[in-house]
């Protein structure tokens, strides 16, 4: 494929870029705290089931659509199903814009923490809880860190698929694994580390509640970055010679590994300082800095700096794909030059993200949305995105089954692969896309709405 849209140069380049899209704050920030709140190993168990049952087939479906149509999310759906279906692609593009708007705010915090720990005096603080609240509330610093993060993302994406997206992931993904593994080796040598490992790895199945299943399902889907056309867009840059069925498996495993390994790094750290693993969202920003503080000034700076650098790399590999989706749309559909599309979008997305940034205390109404059970705007946007992604994923399955047809998907998948209709894996993908995935995703969308407006625990 040598068209002007760009393409990945190799299978490795594609897999690293797609795995980079999946690996993000979700793996290192959200997965461990959800696991911590939901009984550790029990959560991991549920999570793995959903990766296999739901996420893998949806990823295969998205990749097939993208490669068959060789276009952005909107273009792909319109080409294969008519203009009306194109709006589903557009819905994904909008979801991408919204996800990036709040994601970049959190990425800005991670970037700020990295700089303040490695080169500043953050670890000398006395109370990391109040530091965190002041930090996210007072936007004088983190505004600029967010600007910086968006600028780096835009610069990478503006360089194009091969020289930007692929090249950046080829460096960052291996670096991310190396950092992660080094931190695990270190954390396992700490006193009491094994209690953390035990908490994380020995399942207590009695811990599995409806909330565990809900959180696991939701996290698995978000973590692979599905439902908004990321994999459609990336699939459109992949050559027909490549095997999408096995690539999707490698990408899912690579993503799951990072989530799993993050837990293996974080819980021993937390247990070594006898802290609670169930702190929720602040786990990474409030509990870990205390752990790094206890390590003493030099080691703490080094280990803490490495941890937040890791978080920044993970976030960046995701923000790149999030920006690529709307960029591809503008380049393919509106024939806008890539550079202009990227920088224009970056500005708009940054502005859309301002309410999330200001919602951490600075503007009280945004911090306490009356129609949203008093939660803040960032949570509201992030929850809205989750619903958009699950609806997008559900409709994608409907699209494949009823409009494009499973047989056309299979035809696309069999290119570059020796797998044929009678193989187990092909039957599995067809069955799950037709029945399991749309039902699970419809169920999940409803659960998210109930959880957010009423609260699952109130049921």
Stretch that binds ligand PHE, among 19-27, 65-73, 294-302, 405-413 (CB under 6 A): 19-27
Annotate 332-343 with b (16+ C-beta within 10 A) or e (fewer): bbeebebeebbb
Backbone torsions φ then ψ of 300, nearest 5 degrees:
-60, -45
Q: Which letter does DSSP use for residue 456 in this model?
A: G
Does the protein bind ligand PHE through residue 448 (CB under 6 A)?
Answer: no
Q: How far is the CB of 59 from ligand PHE (least distance, A)?
A: 11
Does the protein bind ligand PHE through residue 430 (CB under 6 A)?
Answer: no
Q: How far is the CB of 228 from ligand PHE (least distance, A)?
A: 6
Does the protein bind ligand PHE through residue 21 (CB under 6 A)?
Answer: yes
Q: By C-beta, is 24 or 438 nearer to ligand PHE?
A: 24
Does the protein bind ligand PHE through residue 321 (CB under 6 A)?
Answer: yes
Does the protein bind ligand PHE through residue 232 (CB under 6 A)?
Answer: no
Q: Rounded CA gap, 296 and 290, in Å? A: 10
Q: By C-beta, is 24 or 89 nearer to ligand PHE?
A: 24
Does the protein bind ligand PHE through residue 212 (CB under 6 A)?
Answer: no
Q: Rounded CA gap, 231 and 284, in Å? A: 28
Q: How far is the CB of 31 from ligand PHE (least distance, A)?
A: 8
Cβ neighbors of 137 (< 8 A, separation 6 or more) are 360, 361, 362
The correct pick among 13, 20, 24, 305 for binding ligand PHE (CB under 6 A) is 24
Please give the residues from 301 up to 320 whose contact with ligand PHE meets the rule CB under 6 A. Answer: 318
Q: Rounded CA gap, 437 and 212, in Å? A: 19
Backbone torsions φ then ψ of 125, nearest 5 degrees:
-60, 160
Stretch that binds ligand PHE, among 140-148, 224-232, 233-241, 422-430 (CB under 6 A): 224-232
Q: 129 and 320 in contact (C-beta within 8 Å)?
A: no
Which whole-number Å values give the CA distances from 34 to 10, 328, 401, in the listed order?
35, 33, 33
Q: How far is the CB of 315 from ligand PHE (least distance, A)?
A: 7
Q: How far is the CB of 322 from ligand PHE (least distance, A)?
A: 5
Q: Rounded CA gap, 317 and 152, in Å? A: 11
DSSP-assigned letters across all residues of 111-141: HHHHHHHHTSSGGG-S-HHHHHHHHHH-HHH
Q: By C-beta, is 220 or 419 nearer to ligand PHE?
A: 220
Q: Given the rule CB under 6 A, which residues bind ligand PHE? A: 21-22, 24-27, 99, 222-223, 225, 228, 230, 318, 321-322
């Amino acid at each position: 494929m040598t068209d002007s849209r760009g393409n990945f140069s190799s299978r490795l380049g594609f897999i690293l870029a797609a795995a980079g899209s999946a690996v993000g704050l979700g793996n290192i920030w959200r997965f461990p705290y959800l696991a911590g709140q939901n009984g550790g190993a029990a959560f991991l168990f549920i999570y793995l089931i959903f990766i296999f049952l739901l996420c893998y087939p949806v990823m295969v479906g998205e990749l097939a659509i993208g490669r068959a149509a060789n276009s952005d999310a909107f273009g792909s759906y319109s080409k294969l199903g008519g203009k009306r279906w194109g709006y589903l692609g557009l819905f994904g593009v909008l979801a991408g814009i919204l996800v990036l708007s709040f994601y970049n705010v959190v990425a800005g915090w991670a970037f700020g923490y990295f700089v303040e720990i490695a080169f500043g005096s953050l670890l000398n603080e006395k109370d990391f809880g109040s530091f965190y609240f002041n930090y996210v509330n007072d936007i004088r610093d983190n505004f600029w860190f967010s600007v910086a993060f968006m600028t780096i993302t835009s610069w990478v994406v503006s360089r194009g698929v091969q020289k930007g997206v692929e090249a950046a992931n080829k460096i960052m993904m291996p670096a991310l694994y190396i950092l992660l593994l080094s931190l695990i080796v270190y954390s396992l040598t700490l006193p009491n580390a094994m209690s953390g490992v035990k908490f994380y790895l020995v399942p207590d199945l009695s811990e599995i509640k409806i909330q565990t299943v809900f959180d696991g399902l939701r996290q698995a889907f978000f973590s692979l970055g599905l439902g908004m056309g990321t994999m459609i867009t990336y699939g459109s840059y992949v050559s027909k010679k490549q095997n999408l069925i096995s690539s999707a498996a490698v990408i899912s495993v690579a993503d799951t590994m990072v989530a799993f390994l993050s837990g293996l790094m974080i819980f021993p750290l937390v247990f070594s300082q006898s802290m609670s693993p169930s702190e929720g969202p602040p786990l990474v920003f409030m509990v870990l800095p205390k752990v790094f503080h206890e390590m003493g000034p030099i080691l703490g700076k080094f280990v803490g700096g490495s941890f937040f650098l890791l978080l920044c790399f993970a976030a960046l590999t995701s923000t790149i794909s999030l920006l690529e989706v709307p960029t591809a749309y503008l380049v393919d559909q509106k024939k806008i030059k890539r550079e202009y599309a990227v920088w224009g979008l970056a500005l708009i997305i940054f502005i859309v993200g301002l309410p999330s940034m200001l919602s951490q205390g600075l503007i009280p109404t945004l911090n306490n949305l009356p129609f949203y059970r008093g939660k803040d705007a960032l949570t509201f946007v992030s929850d809205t995105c989750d619903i958009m992604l699950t609806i997008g994923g559900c409709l994608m399955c409907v699209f494949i089954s009823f409009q494009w047809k499973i047989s056309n998907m299979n035809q696309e998948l069999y290119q570059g692969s020796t797998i044929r209709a009678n193989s187990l894996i092909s039957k599995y993908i067809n069955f799950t896309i037709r029945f399991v995935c749309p039902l699970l995703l419809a169920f999940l969308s409803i659960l998210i709405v109930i959880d957010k407006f009423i609260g699952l625990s109130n049921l």
